[in-house]
Structure 1
Amino acid sequence: MTTALNGLKVLDFSTLLPGPFATLYLADLGAEVIHIESPTRPDLVRLMPPYSNGQAASHNYLNRNKQSVALDLKNPESIALLKSKISEYDIVVEQFRPGVMQRLGLDYESLAKIHPQLIYCSITGYGQTGHYKDRAGHDINYLALSGIAGHSGRKTGGPPPLGIQVADVAGGSLHAVIAILSAVIERSQSGLGQYIDISMTDCAVTLNNMAAAAEIAGNERQQPEHSHLNGGTFYDYYETRDGRYLAIGSLEPQFMLGLAQLLELPVVAEKGTSFTLQDRQIVKHAIKEKILSKNFSEWNELFSLHDVCVEPVLSLDEALHSKLADERGWLVAVPLQENSTKKEQQLACPIKFSRSKIRYEFIGKSLGLDFL
């Protein structure tokens, strides 16, 4: 079997998470990725604990299957070298603030004159235009400005600090991959590359999808614990007697009826579809009190036998070592180097093809000095 993106070559100037996660997908799918890094200012991902096999575990994962090359972009010789080799590459990914690559002479306009077929993707917090374009930001800022944080969490507790980077990954990284591969397909028809402007905040806004559709239609103002999916109905998390949690998502009539029967709470079936605040609170209170009556393991045993959209809230360790993780191959053993027998456990690529293979050749490498 061959990889799906075999033959594509990528120059990756990005750091930290959004760009590197995007190019990780490209590398896993078969593209040749050269990660360009500063020889004097290391990518912070290389420094972040914990460590595994003498390197940062995050670096080992995010830079899997990639070659890492040190180049001083303030050195004219490095710029000349990059320009001399740019025609060998299909894609450039960069994550600097707007204007930086232009000052270096590595912007799309400059490189497209040399290589018109080049696809060039810039990932930033706020995009290349608008008065926010030069502002610094992190995932929590993008979620705040996109409206996601504003209609999440509890009325009394405020927005939740999430344990993952939603805007960085689901916003920036994955939208970048979609855009890049779309441009590759378009290039096969036009013969030309193009520039891609990815704003993590723009992309995060689209993750509102259902809530935004209701807001724009003017039918339902989005606020915490108000709509179907943000705690306004019994679609929520419930504490068990021993301090663990269950996720209850039994929205459809057949699941709602099954939940009512299992919990011996006819009020769930009677008022579960009500739109009045009072009825919603009655249903949630009844479920809350019932779930508090048994331990986590007791509820798991019961709900594992019934298909009603109720599942345990697992810790990350429990999730990664669950039966589901094993059956679906969430973890993969990756060689430390090409053809090495020593391996490191990492998250696997979740994409599964019928013919094309996923590539797991080596973990993130130490910083190289030669740009081959």
Structure 2
Amino acid sequence: MSESTSLGSDSKPLNGLKILDFSTLLPGPYASMIMAELGAEVLRVESPSRPDLVKGLEPRIDGVSAAYRQLNDKKSVCYLDLKTPEAVNEVKALVKDYDIVLEQFRPGVMDRLGVGYQALREINAQLIYCSITGYGQSGPYRDRAGHDINYLALSGLADYSRRKGQAPVPQGMQIADLSGGSHQAVMAILAAVIQRQLQGRGQYLDISMTDAAFSLNGMAGAAALAGGEQPEAETGWLNGGTFYDYYATSDGRYMAVGSLEPQFQQRLLKALGLSALADKCADFSAECQFDVKTAIQDAFLSQSFDYWCQCFAQIDACVEPVLTFQEAAEHPQLTARNMVKQGQYTPQLAPAFTFCE
């Protein structure tokens, strides 16, 4: 990570926006990484005695993890012990010139340190102050510890995102951390920036990762709240209750089938030699779907992963291979979109946005 911030082109949309980032681990740093990629100037405030745990992950480059560099290469850094009056005074001096404060401590910690929203607002009335926590600043769980798996469990998502009679599967990425602590935080911050431009005042933002996970129940949850059936394992369109699913090939790899619309169903069934099942495929009753899924699985098991990749490469049927990460990084679509870039030390994931003139 560099000691000075590189803002890049003056045409970046957040050029000139200044962020003071006290967060660690993934949610806050990912949020400030997005804004740094968009041109914001980000200053990380780190503890001199308690390093960010992400920094020690493997593999390391010059003693710092690749993950930490991915999150922070476009930011500046300073080291302050917030338990000292000198550090608190330095933060209060800095905040005069900053637009946004981002923090990820448990509720009340920043207040006790003397750098909470009310204290800093007196110095900079236009300050936008964003707090990211697991459960939010209110409610009986406000002081409770948690991680991504806990937020997904409490949100209801984990219960119906599984096979019947089987345990939920731990995800390979932090869904609640990224959807709440990162993406929701960025959206809220940028909305507050627009409001400040219109009304000339800052505000406090309370971001809960559990709230964000709960809000992801957008389809099944909305139906349940309206009096429909409660979401359960393998009963919905998207969680294995239909032929929208993953299917094993003869060599133990998988194909993802999302052919819900009639035109895609027809192309799928034709490619698999199952056109006679068209009526059953369109019938979303449990009995018909069981028969269709069994036939689709038998068909995919008859050939190898490479065979089906080549077959569906030329068929627009919403059928794609389940790739390893390395295969995904080298996929023609992602390489054409330049989704892997050269970082300061190693290749890195590129931001998922493109501004076209």
Q: Which runs of 5+ in 1 are unaligned?
A: 336-342, 356-372
Is contact 1:267–1:283 with CA below 8 Å preserved after alignment?
Answer: no
C-alpha distance in 2 between matches for 1:85 and 1:106: 11
1:63 aligns with 2:65: no
Q: What is the aligned partner in structure 2 of residue 274 from structure 1?
A: 283
User: 1:124 Cα shift?
Assistant: 0.3
Summarize the alignment of residues 345-364 of structure 1 with structure 2, pairs less than 5 Å apart. 345-355=347-357
Which segments of structure 1 move beyond 3 Å, counting only runs of 4 or more? none
- TM-score of the pair, normalised by structure 1: 0.92
- What does the per-residue CA deviation read over 1:245-267, in whole Å, with 9 as the maximum and x for residues that have no partner? 00000000100111111111135
Summarize the alignment of residues 19-58 of structure 1 with structure 2, pairs less than 5 Å apart. 19-58=28-67
- What does the per-residue CA deviation read over 1:185-207, in whole Å, with 9 as the maximum and x for residues that have no partner? 00001100000000001011111
C-alpha distance in 2 between matches for 1:172 and 1:38: 21
- What does the per-residue CA deviation read over 1:281-323, in whole Å, with 9 as the maximum and x for residues that have no partner? 1111110111100000111111111100000000011101111
Name the stretch that deviates more: 253-262 or 19-28: 253-262
Name the stretch that deviates more: 89-98 or 51-60: 51-60
1:317 aligns with 2:326: yes
The two structures, once aligned, show a CA RMSD in angstroms of 1.0
Is contact 1:268–1:283 with CA below 8 Å preserved after alignment?
Answer: yes
C-alpha distance in 1 between matches for 2:77 and 2:55: 11
Q: What is the aligned partner in structure 1 of residue 117 from structure 2?
A: 108
C-alpha distance in 1 between matches for 2:258 and 2:272: 14
User: 1:53 Cα shift?
Assistant: 4.3
Q: Higher relative contact order at CA 8 Å, sep ≥6: structure 1 or structure 2?
A: 1
Q: What is the aligned partner in structure 2 of residue 203 from structure 1?
A: 212
Is contact 1:175–1:198 with CA below 8 Å preserved after alignment?
Answer: yes
C-alpha distance in 2 between matches for 1:187 and 1:37: 28
Summarize the alignment of residues 32-181 of structure 1 with structure 2, pairs less than 5 Å apart. 32-181=41-190
Q: What is the aligned partner in structure 2 of residue 259 from structure 1?
A: 268
Is contact 1:249–1:309 with CA below 8 Å preserved after alignment?
Answer: yes
Secondary structure (helix, strand or coil) at the match of 2:346 reads: strand
C-alpha distance in 1 between matches for 2:12 and 2:63: 29
Is contact 1:256–1:268 with CA below 8 Å preserved after alignment?
Answer: no
Amino acid across the alignment from 2:321: P
Secondary structure (helix, strand or coil) at the match of 1:121 reads: strand
Q: Which runs of 5+ in 2 are unaligned?
A: 1-8
Q: 1:287 aligns with which of 276, 290, 296?
A: 296
Name the stretch that deviates more: 154-163 or 23-32: 154-163
Q: What is the aligned partner in structure 2 of residue 235 from structure 1?
A: 244
1:8 aligns with 2:10: no
User: 1:31 Cα shift?
Assistant: 0.5
User: 1:85 Cα shift?
Assistant: 2.1
Secondary structure (helix, strand or coil) at the match of 2:282 reads: coil
Amino acid across the alignment from 2:95: I
Secondary structure (helix, strand or coil) at the match of 2:122 reads: helix
C-alpha distance in 1 between matches for 2:50 and 2:16: 31
Amino acid across the alignment from 1:72: D
